[in-house]
Structure 1
């Protein structure tokens, strides 16, 4: 048995937040940004922090986060309650800028940390996979499938454990304009799944 197999989540998170695995490749240095608790009912699997999130240390502390919370139909206090929502991007640190936006998540991160963290989130009822890297990990059978097809086939299924979502970044406005059915037809279904997964929203009878 590996010595870390029985490691509590808090101890694992401490090691993750001290990670130096990609330090030499990160332009601003390592600053893992994530949120997790063993009671979390929803997992948000994003891509990697942007520069603003690197500066604040708060996941989705940007325009993408504002849109994502609107899509989910939940307030900030629910979104940032780790007992309700876990936020584990495919790369925990800001990877730097490329020619057309941020670089992809560092490839070392997910193999090193992702499965041990997921193994310690036994209460997750719904995963939101945002972006192609999260889709490849959480929906491997759909790897290479056009994003629109993955979104349609998961969000329309009332029992799908993983929902594929387009990235909520303003950079993705073109995709949203080309696929208006997402916000009109599928977003209400996804929002209902979020509400059903969160005890506080069920208890309150509201998703706002």
Structure 2
């Protein structure tokens, strides 16, 4: 969700579904179609622990993902919609990207959008086969062992090998144990500053080191 918060209090399922539908309707009115994808501004929903990356961070992470995936590579973006949008802006027909996201407002991105609930980490669209992505980039919405552990199942299911994880510094040991990733020197920044120290982790030699 482009950022983390350790408060996982959520609205009731019925209320949240109604709110999501409202957001989608409103957002479709604001979006402009360009080159077969949608660009626009979706405001952060703090009920979903959303904190968008700065444009500079989204661009840097998108460039890293493209380079790591390689020519013809497929990139899975789990709860990182701002990176997905930047990937679409940089698209040059040499890679593809899909977005796995709980927030249905991002369904405006069309067929690349896949509804994703980390509580059901392997309940994925039929097109998301095991090891079908050269790189998976993920940003778990909550700083919790449960959240990261479940999303790790999705990551390991989808990736052919390369993992780019963005989460809090406090998750370093757990991330290493679950995904064999190491902290990078690059630190993501957000439009709204976070109280928690935030980091990038990879399991390969990256340009973020």
**TM-score category by the smaller chain?**
0.3 to 0.5
TM-score by length of 2: 0.36
Structure of higher CA gyration radius:
1
| Larger strand fraction of residues | 2
